[in-house]
Structure 1
Amino acid sequence: MTLEILKTKEELRNLIDAYAYLGDEKKISEQMGLFTPDAVYKVYMNDFLAANVSGTDTLEKEFSGHASLVKTYFTLNGQHTVKIDGDTATGVSFSQIKMIRESEGKNILTDYSVKYDDKYVHQNGKWLIKERIGYFLIVEARPLNN
């Protein structure tokens, strides 16, 4: 493995971690800077296509609308495997996402176990997300006791 490949793998991991950090902090407009302007974002809940959005303008509206309903996000990234091919790459990553929403005066914690399939491109000296497909494999919601 060359030093260049190791550097690229680190840059791609940093991209995925930045996506999580900015999402947790609800810095949606900054998060859009991690995508290509024509990015595609899809979400599957089991086998149901729950979201299919193209372009960062639309994506920012979708993310902002969702974030307005969430009191707190907490994301923990796990494995991240990439295949690099010049200025493009593909990746698979896994995340545990916790969201707290209020419902009927109670805080509801929802745990999501997510697998992401990504396509990345290197443009203007940095790696960006071109396509992100999230497979929400396990979803559990329960009242928070604090």
Structure 2
Amino acid sequence: MSIHTEISPAEAADRLAIRELFDAYATAADRRDAEGQKALFAENSRFIVFMDGPGSEASYALDGREALTPVFADLNRYEATTHFNGQSTVTLSGDSATGESYTLAHHLYTEDGVRTIMIASLRYLDTFTKIDGVWYFAERNLVVDWTETRPSAA
């Protein structure tokens, strides 16, 4: 891992824009804005989910922005969600970039009369593309590192 002691204003702007993309994704998820969430992806993007942790086979893969709506709308089954974004790394290369980011995703729901919380530790392995000056997800790999499910005190 390198530490950037000196970067250009253009690189700083690109890094900030990609961080804002991470955050916009989480915000749209928590607001149940499936259309807004999918708008963060390039038209020919790919979304791959690994539910069984690192090194597992993909649980499913979706190709194209339009295929994302049902997956993002599936969050509506929860009473509430909160996604906390943590550390992230980004490697820039012109109008493309790669990155890894961490998220703790909290999901509240009621099952058999019991209010329940499911917490998932997620990592996103991303490829980004810059189109007409705007950064988008070109490929997003969601890796579920672990989950915890328990009754909620809330």
The structure where strand makes up a greater share of residues is 1
| Equivalence for 1:122 | 130
TM-score normalised over the length of structure 2: 0.89
* Counterparts of 2:151 and 2:143, CA distance in 1: 24
Q: Where does residue 62 of structure 1 map in the other structure?
A: 71
- Are the equivalent residues in 1 in contact too, given 2:126–2:138 (CA < 8 A)? yes
Superposed CA offset, 1:65-112 (max 9, x none): x12211111011011110111000001100111011221122210001
Q: How many residues align?
A: 145
Structure 1 residues not aligned, in runs of 5+? none
User: How much has 1:53 moved relative to structure 2?
Assistant: 1.1
C-alpha RMSD of matched pairs (Å): 1.1
What is the distance in 2 between the residues matched to 1:105 and 1:56?
37
Question: How many Å separate the matches in 1 of 2:113 and 2:65?
Answer: 34
Indicate the residue corresponding to 2:32 in structure 1: 26
Runs of 4+ in 1 over 6 A off after TM superposition: none
Of 51, 63, 70 in structure 1, the residue corresponding to residue 60 of structure 2 is 51
Q: Is residue 90 of structure 1 aligned with residue 91 of structure 2?
A: no
Which 10-residue stretch deviates more, 133-142 or 49-58? 49-58
Residue number among 16, 22, 27 corresponding to 1:10 in the alignment: 16
TM-score by length of 1: 0.94
CA distance in structure 1 between the aligned counterparts of 2:88 and 2:76, rounded to whole angstroms: 29
Identity of aligned residues (%): 26
